[in-house]
């Protein structure tokens, strides 16, 4: 890295090597400039698949009201799918559904549910089937996470994350899967995992354990239910800034600054990039692909325990 003596201010930013994160006033939400090498890796936010790739298909997405779920819902809708989005907050869901449907012209239905409750999942799936038909595309994106030293985690805090992430994924997957088997219909399932399932990460042990379970479930069903025409895959994305996740996991912004300097592309991922990858994996263009965990990251391995740099405090689930 360039020494302090060797760096100088140019146009509000510090002159530095391509591997140095530099500061500048880009916007009120940006804590740091992207490293200069980021210009070689521009973001493409437009759909990469043909317009009607999912025409006649029904998609079911948990955690679809905000963040990555919203981005995936919009991508699938723009490619022709009818989409049901779910989460616990109906007002947020409805706003998202209206917004996406207004832009794509394809039907988007918002239904509130709690993926932790099998009965609630059963009802929302039944409503989706009644209005749109059995899903052909299923995205398990509902998640929960928080930062805490493991010794401070209460039993209820642990149970909350496991119930949302692992049991919620199982509840949705098994309910829809059993209906698909009875109807002799295939489908493509995608679960959103995380980069630290293989190596672990400090301060997020419930999430790491739950997401590792999701990956094991994915690989197991990919083998067992292939005979029913179903595919199961995961994406384990690296850091993609969304308001909900980053407000909880990176409240100081310190991780974002460190991450951009460690990532070879010199920037964080964008939600549309994940949405494009998701659309490809769900589509027939990837029909030979099952039981995989696609690690969409560019972090060095030594950066896995990235929460070490974040101040740990706050209220736990009691």
% residues pLDDT > 70 (the chain): 80
Average pLDDT rounded to a whole number, residues 11-23 = 38
The count of domains in the chain is: 1
CB atoms within 10 A of CB 308: 13
Tell me whether residue 30 is in a domain.
Answer: no
Average pLDDT rounded to a whole number, residues 94-123 = 98
> For residue 34, is pLDDT > 90?
no
- Tabulate helix, strand, coil % of the chain (nearest 5): 45, 15, 40
Least confident of 29-38, 111-120, 216-225: 29-38
End-to-end CA distance of the chain: 45
Tell me whether residue 17 is in a domain.
Answer: no
CA angle in degrees (0–180, nearest 5) for 291-246-306: 70
H or E element that contains 139? strand 137-140
Least confident of 157-166, 193-202, 267-276, 305-314: 305-314
Q: What is the pLDDT of residue 187?
A: 98
Q: What is the pLDDT of residue 262?
A: 82
Tell me whether residue 91 is in a domain.
Answer: yes
Least confident of 1-5, 62-66, 112-116: 1-5
Q: What is the pLDDT of residue 38?
A: 86
259: its two tokens:
């991450």
Longest dimension (CA), the chain: 70
How far is 286 from 27, CA to CA, in rounded Å?
Answer: 38
Q: What is the pLDDT of residue 304?
A: 38
> For residue 202, is pLDDT > 80?
yes
Q: What is the pLDDT of residue 50?
A: 97
> For residue 242, is pLDDT > 90?
no
Residue 196 annotated among the catalytic residues of the structure = yes
Tell me whether residue 178 is in a domain.
Answer: yes
Q: What is the pLDDT of residue 199?
A: 85
Tell me whether residue 281 is in a domain.
Answer: yes
Segment 295-314, tens digit of pLDDT: 875 544 433 333 333 333 33
> For residue 274, is pLDDT > 70?
yes
Q: What is the pLDDT of residue 298?
A: 52
Q: What is the pLDDT of residue 33?
A: 55
pLDDT tier for residue 249 given thresholds of 50, 70 and 90: low
How far is 244 from 247, CA to CA, in rounded Å?
Answer: 5
Tell me whether residue 144 is in a domain.
Answer: yes
CATH number at residue 220: 3.40.50.720
Tell me whether residue 216 is in a domain.
Answer: yes
With contact defined as beta carbons under 8 Å apart, do 110 and 93 qualify?
A: yes
Cβ-in-10-Å burial (0-12, 13-18, 19+) of 107 comes to middle
- The active-site residue out of 196, 228, 280, 285 is 196
> For residue 137, is pLDDT > 90?
yes
How far is 208 from 144, CA to CA, in rounded Å?
Answer: 11
Average pLDDT rounded to a whole number, residues 191-209 = 93
Tell me whether residue 250 is in a domain.
Answer: yes
> For residue 93, is pLDDT > 90?
yes
Q: What is the pLDDT of residue 9?
A: 29
Segment 63-81, tens digit of pLDDT: 999 999 999 999 999 999 9
With contact defined as beta carbons under 8 Å apart, do 136 and 59 qualify?
A: yes
Range of the domain at 296: 54-309
């Amino acid at each position: 890295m360039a020494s302090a003596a060797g760096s100088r201010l140019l146009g509000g930013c510090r002159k530095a090597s391509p591997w140095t994160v530099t500061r500048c006033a880009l916007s009120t939400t940006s804590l740091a400039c992207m490293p200069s090498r980021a210009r070689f890796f521009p973001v493409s936010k437009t759909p990469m698949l043909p317009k009607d790739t999912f025409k006649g298909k029904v998609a079911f997405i948990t955690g679809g009201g905000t963040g990555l779920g919203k981005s995936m819902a919009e991508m699938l809708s723009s490619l022709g799918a009818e989409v049901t989005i779910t989460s616990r907050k109906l007002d947020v869901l409805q706003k998202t559904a209206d917004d996406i449907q207004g832009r794509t012209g394809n039907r988007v239905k918002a239904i509130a549910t709690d993926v932790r409750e099998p009965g609630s999942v059963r009802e929302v799936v039944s409503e989706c089937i009644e209005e749109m038909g059995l899903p052909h595309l299923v995205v398990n994106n509902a998640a929960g996470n928080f930062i805490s030293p493991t010794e401070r985690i209460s039993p209820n805090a642990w149970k909350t994350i496991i119930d949302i992430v692992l049991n919620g994924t199982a509840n949705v997957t098994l309910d829809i899967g059993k209906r698909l088997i009875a109807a002799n219909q295939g489908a493509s399932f995608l679960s959103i995992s995380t980069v630290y399932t293989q190596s672990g990460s400090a301060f997020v042990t419930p999430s790491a354990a739950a997401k590792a379970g999701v990956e094991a479930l994915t690989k197991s069903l990919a083998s067992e239910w292939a005979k029913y025409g179903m595919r199961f895959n995961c994406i384990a994305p690296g850091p993609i800034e969304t308001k909900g996740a980053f407000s909880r996991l990176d409240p100081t912004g310190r991780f974002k600054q460190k991450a951009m300097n460690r990532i070879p592309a010199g920037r964080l991922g964008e939600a549309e990039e994940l949405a494009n990858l998701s659309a490809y994996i769900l589509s027939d263009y990837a029909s030979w692909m099952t039981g995989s965990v696609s690690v969409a990251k560019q972090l060095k391995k030594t950066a896995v325990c990235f929460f070490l740099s974040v101040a740990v405090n706050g209220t736990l689930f009691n």
